[in-house]
Structure 1
Amino acid sequence: MKAILRLAAVGLLLTGSAFALTGERMPEMTLEKMTPAQRSIAEAIINGPRGRMSGPFNTWLRSPELADRLQKVGEYVRFKTSLDKRINEMAILMTAQAWGAQYEWYAHAPLAVKAGLDPQVVAAIGAGRKPEKMKDDEAIVWEFSTQLRRDHGVDDAIYAKALEKFGEQGIVDLVAVNGYYDVVSMTLNVARVKAPAGAEMPFKQAGE
Structure 2
Amino acid sequence: MTDTNTHAPRLPEFHAASATNEQQAVLDEILSGPRGSLSGPFLAWIASPELADHAQRLGAYCRYRTGLPARLSELAILVTAAHWRAQAEWQIHCPIALSEGVPESVAEALRAGRRPEFAHADDALIYAFATELYETRRVSDATFEATVRRFGHRTTVELVGVLGYYALVSMTLNVFAMRADDASAPLPFPE
Give the shorter-chain TM-score range: over 0.9
Residues 121 and 134, structure 1, Cα contact 8 Å, conserved in 2: no
2:102 to 117, 123, 128: 117
Q: Report the TM-score, using the length of structure 1 for normalisation.
A: 0.85
2:141 to 141, 153, 156: 156
Distance 1:43 1:98 in 2: 32
- In the TM superposition, what is the alpha-carbon distance from 1:61 to its structure 2 partner? 0.8
Matched, 1:203 2:189: yes
Matched, 1:54 2:54: no
Q: Deviations over 1:62-115 (max 9, x none)?
A: 111111000000000001111010010001011111111110000000100111
RMSD after superposition: 1.4
Residues 18-97 of structure 1: pairs in structure 2 closer than 5 A:
23-97=8-82
Letter aligned with residue 199 of structure 1: A
Matched, 1:181 2:166: yes
Q: Report the TM-score, using the length of structure 2 for normalisation.
A: 0.92
Distance 1:67 1:124 in 2: 32
Q: Larger Rg: 1 or 2? A: 1
1:167 paired residue number: 152
- The answer for unaligned runs of 5 or more in structure 2 is 1-6
Distance 1:198 1:129 in 2: 26
Residues 23 and 194, structure 1, Cα contact 8 Å, conserved in 2: no
Q: Secondary structure at the match of 1:153?
A: coil
How many pairs are equivalent? 184
Distance 1:202 1:166 in 2: 31
Residues 91 and 188, structure 2, Cα contact 8 Å, conserved in 1: no
